[in-house]
Amino acid sequence: MRYIAPVRARILMIMFFATGSLGLVIGLGVAPPSVTMIITFMGVVNIGLGAFFAYVVLTQEERSQDKRKRRRRQRDN
Protein backbone atom coordinates (compact mmCIF):
# COMPACT_ATOMS: atom_id res chain seq x y z
CA MET A 1 0.00 0.00 0.00
CA ARG A 2 1.18 3.50 -0.74
CA TYR A 3 2.65 5.61 2.07
CA ILE A 4 0.21 8.14 3.55
CA ALA A 5 1.53 11.04 5.59
CA PRO A 6 0.59 10.49 9.26
CA VAL A 7 -1.03 13.93 9.58
CA ARG A 8 -3.24 13.30 6.56
CA ALA A 9 -4.22 9.83 7.82
CA ARG A 10 -5.10 11.24 11.26
CA ILE A 11 -7.25 13.95 9.72
CA LEU A 12 -9.10 11.39 7.60
CA MET A 13 -9.52 9.11 10.62
CA ILE A 14 -11.00 11.91 12.75
CA MET A 15 -13.23 13.06 9.91
CA PHE A 16 -14.67 9.57 9.32
CA PHE A 17 -15.21 8.87 13.03
CA ALA A 18 -16.92 12.25 13.53
CA THR A 19 -19.25 11.93 10.54
CA GLY A 20 -19.97 8.30 11.41
CA SER A 21 -20.95 9.08 14.98
CA LEU A 22 -23.02 12.04 13.82
CA GLY A 23 -24.74 9.78 11.27
CA LEU A 24 -25.55 7.23 13.95
CA VAL A 25 -26.98 9.89 16.27
CA ILE A 26 -29.08 11.44 13.52
CA GLY A 27 -30.14 8.08 12.08
CA LEU A 28 -31.20 6.60 15.40
CA GLY A 29 -32.62 9.68 17.07
CA VAL A 30 -33.62 12.53 14.78
CA ALA A 31 -34.37 11.18 11.31
CA PRO A 32 -37.89 10.26 10.22
CA PRO A 33 -38.64 6.53 10.07
CA SER A 34 -38.47 6.39 6.27
CA VAL A 35 -34.74 7.23 6.12
CA THR A 36 -33.53 5.95 9.51
CA MET A 37 -32.02 2.74 8.14
CA ILE A 38 -29.98 4.30 5.32
CA ILE A 39 -28.56 7.12 7.47
CA THR A 40 -27.61 4.65 10.20
CA PHE A 41 -26.00 2.36 7.62
CA MET A 42 -23.96 5.24 6.19
CA GLY A 43 -22.83 6.11 9.73
CA VAL A 44 -21.63 2.54 10.25
CA VAL A 45 -19.74 2.65 6.94
CA ASN A 46 -18.01 5.88 8.02
CA ILE A 47 -17.07 4.33 11.38
CA GLY A 48 -15.56 1.40 9.46
CA LEU A 49 -13.52 3.76 7.27
CA GLY A 50 -12.34 5.58 10.38
CA ALA A 51 -11.22 2.25 11.85
CA PHE A 52 -9.33 1.46 8.64
CA PHE A 53 -7.43 4.75 8.79
CA ALA A 54 -6.72 4.18 12.49
CA TYR A 55 -5.19 0.84 11.49
CA VAL A 56 -3.10 2.59 8.81
CA VAL A 57 -1.85 5.18 11.31
CA LEU A 58 -0.91 2.53 13.86
CA THR A 59 0.79 0.03 11.52
CA GLN A 60 2.44 2.21 8.89
CA GLU A 61 6.23 2.22 8.89
CA GLU A 62 8.21 5.42 8.59
CA ARG A 63 9.11 6.54 5.12
CA SER A 64 12.55 5.33 4.13
CA GLN A 65 14.89 6.85 1.59
CA ASP A 66 14.78 5.56 -1.95
CA LYS A 67 17.02 2.48 -2.11
CA ARG A 68 18.08 3.21 -5.69
CA LYS A 69 19.58 6.55 -4.69
CA ARG A 70 21.41 4.99 -1.76
CA ARG A 71 22.95 2.30 -3.97
CA ARG A 72 24.14 4.88 -6.46
CA ARG A 73 25.85 6.85 -3.71
CA GLN A 74 27.61 3.76 -2.38
CA ARG A 75 28.95 2.84 -5.82
CA ASP A 76 30.34 6.35 -6.38
CA ASN A 77 32.31 6.35 -3.11
Stated pTM of the model: 0.77
pLDDT band at 63 (very low <50, low <70, confident <90, very high): confident
Contact criterion met (CB below 8 Å) for 46 and 16: yes
Q: What would the pLDDT profile of 9-58 be if each residue is shown by its tens digit?
A: 999 999 999 999 999 999 999 999 999 999 999 999 999 999 999 999 99
Domain ranges of the chain: 14-61
Give 60-72 as a DSSP string. Answer: PPPPPPPHHHHHH
pLDDT of residue 71 exceeding 70, the answer is: no
